[in-house]
Amino acid sequence: MGKVNVGLRGWRFAEADIFTDEGLFKQLEEIPKDDRQRLLRLVSLVEKPCDACRLIHGEDEIHRARQAAVVYGEPNDEVVLCADHEADFLYWYQNDGGSEYRGSATFDDAFEEWFDNGGRAPDGFEAVEHVETDPEGLPDPPDAEELNAMLSEGYEPERIDLREYVDDETAAAANDTLADDGIDGLDTEYPSTDQ
């Protein structure tokens, strides 16, 4: 088995990681975490308009924007583009500083700022040539209803303790700032859904 795109080009998945031997999507808990995050994010991205078209037409004329065909970046910091604007993105990424933002939370904002300020690929700059070997051979990604059903079938999301990502110095500074504003600090214990 090889690598495949699901829903949009760009994010590639190892077939064995996301599909069963029968060619169906695996249950969410069986899919590796990074792939699972991308698949869940793809559900909302496949219907989004192209980010570049959105900037050109504005929110009031968003209906004129083309639907996304490709996604680049990381979940929630991604850029979605129609086929016509993929070359602009690739030019920015390869030739105009875009690669500096790889993996950062400002990836999508940096591209949008560049594009909104008139950044475009020069005439003749070629986008990636995508090869579709058997698009009909892949199952459709789950829709929102199927995802909700998968999530309700005993799926346990990971619990994340955000305190693990804050060092003692940062936490102390945040507590001091909050205390100055008359707010209890980060040390406060709040009840969880388990209590």
Average of per-residue pLDDT values in the chain: 79
In this predicted structure, what is the pLDDT of residue 190? 46
Residues 6+ apart with CB under 8 A from 38: 11, 13, 75
Q: 40 vs 143, which has greater pLDDT?
A: 40
DSSP run (H or E) holding 51: helix 51-57
* Tens of pLDDT, residues 5-33: 888 999 999 999 999 888 888 988 899 99
Structure tokens at 109: 């904002």
In this predicted structure, what is the pLDDT of residue 188? 47
* Tens of pLDDT, residues 93-138: 999 999 999 999 999 999 999 999 999 999 888 766 655 555 555 5
